[in-house]
Amino acid sequence: MTGFKSFAEPEHISIDDGMTGIVGPNGCGKSNIVESLRWLMGESSAKSMRGGELEDIIFAGSASRPSRNFAEVTLTLDNSARTAPSALNDGDDIEITRRIERGKGSSFKINGKASRARDVQLLFADMATGSRSSGIVSQGKVGAIINAKPVERRNLLEEAANIRGLHQRRHEAELRLNTAETNLERLEDILIQLDEQKASLTKQARQAARYRSIADRIRKADAHLMLARFTLTVGRLEDAQAQLRDAERLTAAATEEASSKSRHRNTVAETLPPLRQDEAVRAAEFQRLSLERDALDQEEERVKKAVQDVAARRQQITTDFAREKQLLTDADRAIEALTEEQAAITAANNDDEPKRAAAAEELEQARAAATDAEQALADAAAKSRAAERETEALTRRIGEHEQRLAQANTALDQLNLDQLKATAERHAAERLKAEEHAAAIKTKRAASDGQLTTAQDAARTANAKVSEAREEFARIRAESDALSALLTPQDTNSGTPVSSAIKVSGGLEVALAAVLGDSLSAPVGRHDNAYWLDSTGPALTPPQGMTPLADHLDLPGALTAAISGIGVADSADAAASAQSRLEPGQAITTADGGLWRWDGFVQPVGAETSAAQRLKQEARLRELTAERDGKQTTLAEAEEKAAATAKTLAELEAESRTLGDDERAADQQLNAATRADETAKAAHQSAQRRHDELTETRAELTAALAEAKAEADSLSNPEALTLDVDTLTAKAEECRQRLAEAMGSERVIRSAREGREKRMRDIEREMSIWTDRQKGAHARLDELTARQSQAEQDARQLASQPDDITARRHKLGDAIDTAEANRQQAADRLAEAETTLALAENAQRDADQALAQQRETYIRAESQRDLAMQDRDSIVNRIRERLNVIPDGLRALAELNPEDTIDTDEATITALESRHERLLRERENIGPVNLRAEAEMEEVDSRIASIHTERDDLNGAIAKLRSAINQLNREGRERLLKSFADVNRYFETLFKTLFNGGSAELTLTEADDPLEAGLEILASPPGKKLQSLSLLSGGEQALTALALIFAVFLTNPSPICILDDVDAPLDDTNVARFCDMLGQIADETGTRFIVVTHHRLTMAKMDRLYGVTMEQKGVSRIVSVDLQTAEKYRETA
């Protein structure tokens, strides 16, 4: 206990075998120990804990000690016999803890794991104890039994019979029954609503049919109107296209003039590319060196992190080695111990077998001897009593036998066995026919259920395949959409990148990206930004001895010149050696992205560029597009198969329900035939038994009459019979003693063997667990060895890298300075050339202005053409949206012949529009229409059928619940009556023990039903008459109530019993008897007693004492004395 009421500091109490006493002055906190146990066992009432609320049990502080924030009580149970529930049977001990904190409430833990209060209460209930069980007795409980009404005392019998759980289950069953009946009423209401809904849907279905007819006429009129509008729009488009052709001719002449000015400007601009190329090359060199420096920094950081990671890995591996070796050692020891224990149990079983057989044989012999002796005694006693009355009764018996013999003869003549036999045979034939019919229905139902199960499995498989195909299609679509979004240019005016038209084989995406670089993102054809011309210069020949890069590409013609002079080398060394032999325009690349040009430019092998990534992404997108089509087809096939399977399943379910109805009808018919058959058989058998009984009675009466007459002549000697009774009584008592001893021996041997067999099963389970752990430890040790070797190898590889990085950093710094100076000189030359180009561009601008004016005229004509096309496309889209056809299908939809002409004048179109609007108004006048009325009516029919099935299921459930409630009541009555007999027997014995004589008994009163009866206590102390408990003196009442409490306790003994000041009203003599009774119960049942007392005699009877003191006001402490150990020390001394 910690912080519980007056116990501010942790206190420990050992509840050992025998009786443990708790003593101390009044108000020092003795009862707090009892209340801590009750609270731990699940007590939730603050009033019963002597507080206003549960938080009052937390130590509230004193003048010298501060208050506590929590209270905690822990109880440790011995589970070495493994009698706990299976979930808690892993260890030899079970630790139960309850803790309460201010403002947070209380919580339970079992073996350190959070648990529910109900689980703890059930655990103690299974051990026949608990916070309110008969094993916790106080003065208040004794007084409550004395003052209670008989009905209130019935709780003691219920606790002894252990039927409080039955009451709870019956209450739960009644709640479920009420719920089921409520649900049945609700289903009836729903059925009424569905019938009304079905009638309404029938009307709506007729209205929907009329609506569809008008909709068809509207569709035809709409098609005729759209055809006239489309024909008018096509004529306007042809006029606009003629005007556009005239404007195009005039614009071509102006374009030729502007082209002349442009050629002059291009001549000037041709001097710029070499200068820009030179500046770009030098800038690229500078940029490359800068990037290389950044990459070197990153590599240095990566090496440092890798060294740290390797060290951490090696430390972790060392720790894991130690842990797994320890686990392996534990497993070896456990397996060895279990093997030895298994051998010991086997040997004990073998040694015990002869004893068990001998005990069983002795038990049978003793039982037979006791039975014979009891029977002989009963016969002799009966003869002795009968001998006294036989003389005077012989004459009367002879007269009665003669009269009964005449009555038996008359009754035999009145029986009609033949007619009853014929009726029974007829009903038996009808029952056989009903059984055959029911068996045939059940066979058919079983076959249908088998098909239904197969169909359900097929449906689940089909649905699983649909889900799998859908997930796979969604995955491919998501990846495809992501790549499409990634590859779609942000600027829609920049054109389609040329890379999208290139197909690369042989894994040369990185090589192509190294050759073309960012130009892969440029489109083909003129654009505002960079682009590729449709026409290219002459193609080059690839480097001699190299594989042409173009052989691995499928690319547009615009890139032929750029790629024709590129060769692919097998390695960087081969490319470097061949660079000096390259002709102008030629270059060599490798599969890993290196580049060696004819002008001396070298791009070493490096990381993958964005252009290379784009090429790979475009290739992956093409693969996904093809794969997506295949997965979509697979998904459609799977969905079609799932739909077919679902349809088959629905048909089989309907068939199963029909067969179920047939089966229930056949069962009802069979039950009726069975009842008729059993009734007829019972009548025939009853008559036959009556005939046999009368025949036997007649024979018996004849024999009895002769015997009575013979007995009249010779009667037994009464004195001899009395002597035989005394002799047989002594013999019967001897046989009963022998039987009790044999039963005790046999029970001890059987209990020991059952315990060993249970432990053997536990050993086998534990052996399996430890073997699995041993194998797992070996496997993990092998894995750790491999990991340790790899970590050491990584550490050796990383050791030399920091020095290499430092040397490379110094060399790279010098190269960066040189590259910066070269880049600045090339930029100055480029600026001078661009100034000259600006003057040429001004001259070209004037010519372009003249061309722009003519182009405006062309654009206006083109706009008129586009407007006409938009009108045509708008009509086409409206046709597709409203009628879901193309224009060529309008004639068929409007039911017009191909040779019919279409008038496009204003009057015709107006008339068509009026007809179309009239039909629309006619459809609107119908009002709201439920087009799904027929489908909804089918759904309502299906739901009605389903509810009928649910109603049948509910009726069956209600019948089962009512049967279960009746069964619980029967079981409760049987257990209560049996418990009443046991409690009454123990009560009589304990009463005699406590009163040193006298007698007492219990009776059930106030009701015919034992479950509603009261318990009345009648007692007769020595020298007094039998009377009610309320008429006894105070001390007698207390002793009688204690006898009843312990009678209930012995009926269902618990491992612990707590007595709080129950000996207070008893004198010394009664206290001595009371303590002797406790000692006897502790020896017989193994119950451990905790006795809170002030009586010196009770203290002397205890095996150990705990004293509760209050050295500081408001703070309790505990001291202990083991009296048994003290007595052993005294005897030794």
Q: What pLDDT is stored for residue 401 in this prediction?
A: 67
Which range has highest mean pLDDT (85-94, 297-306, 503-512, 905-914)? 85-94
Mean pLDDT across the stretch 1012-1019?
A: 86
More confident residue, 505 or 791: 791
* pLDDT tens digits, 319-361: 877 877 888 888 788 788 878 877 887 887 777 777 777 777 7
* Sequential DSSP letters for 742-809: HHHHHHHHHHHHHHHHHHHHHHHHHHHHHHHHHHHHHHHHHHHHHHHHHHHHHHHHHTTHHHHHHHHH
Task: Give the residue ranges of DSSP H helices in 542-609.
Answer: 560-564, 572-578
Most confident of 552-556, 565-569, 858-862, 1108-1112: 1108-1112
Q: Which of 800, 864, 937 is nearest to 204 (CA)?
A: 937
* C-alpha atoms less than 13 angstroms from C-alpha of 468 in its C-beta half-sphere: 10
- 479 phi and psi angles, rounded to 5 deg: -65, -40
Give pLDDT, residue 721. 55
Q: Give this prediction's pTM.
A: 0.38
Residue pair 1121/1089 in contact (Cβ under 8 Å)? The answer is no
Q: Which of 598-612, 684-698, 985-999 has the lowest mean pLDDT?
A: 598-612
Angle at 235 between CA 232 and CA 241, to 5 degrees: 145
Closest of 1087, 1050, 1058, 1010 to residue 158, by C-alpha: 1010
Q: Which amino acid is at 438?
A: A
For the chain, what is the mean pLDDT?
79
What is the rounded average pLDDT of the residues 265-281?
77
The structure tokens listed for 860 are 């206006």
Judge contact between 276 and 830, C-beta under 8 A. yes
Tokens of 516: 């073309």
Neighbouring residues of 296: CB distance < 8 A, sequence distance ≥ 6? 805, 808, 809, 812
pLDDT at 1007 over 70: no
Model pLDDT, residue 495: 60
Tokens at 12, concatenated: 């420990």
Q: Residue 12: its pLDDT value, please?
A: 93
Q: How many CB atoms lie within 10 A of CB 57?
A: 23
Q: Which CATH architecture has domain 505-612?
A: 2-Layer Sandwich (3.30)
Helix ranges restricted to H, 415-521: 417-487, 509-516
Q: Which of 115-119, 167-171, 450-454 has the highest mean pLDDT?
A: 115-119
Q: What is the pLDDT of residue 164?
A: 63
- The mean per-residue pLDDT over the stretch 1111-1117 comes to 87
* Distant-in-sequence, close-in-space partners of 427: CB < 8 Å, separation ≥ 6: 673, 676, 677, 679, 680, 681
**Angstrom distance (rounded) from CA 711 to CA 669:** 60
Secondary structure letter of residue 593 according to DSSP = S
Q: Which residues pair with 1056 in a beta bridge?
A: 1088
pLDDT at 209 over 50: yes
Percentage of residues in the chain having pLDDT higher than 70: 85
Q: Domains of the chain: which residue ranges?
A: 505-612
Per-residue pLDDT averaged across 843-851, rounded?
74
Residue type, 1044: L
Q: Which pLDDT band holds residue 490 (cuts at 50, 70, 90)?
A: very low
Identify the CA nearest to 739 among candidates 376, 372, 375, 362. Answer: 362
Give the span between the Cα atoms of 565 and 542, in whole angstroms: 4
CA angle 582, 584, 586 (to 5 degrees): 55
Q: pLDDT over 90 for what percent of the chain?
A: 8
**pLDDT given for residue 648 in this prediction:** 84
Q: Please state which of the ranges 71-85, 101-115, 473-487 shows the lowest mean pLDDT.
A: 473-487
Structure confidence by residue, pLDDT tens digits, 921-977: 877 777 777 777 778 778 888 888 888 888 888 888 888 888 887 887 788 788 878
- Check: CB of residue 215 under 8 Å from CB of residue 923: yes
Q: What is the pLDDT of residue 228?
A: 78
DSSP-assigned states of every residue in 291-302: HHHHHHHHHHHH
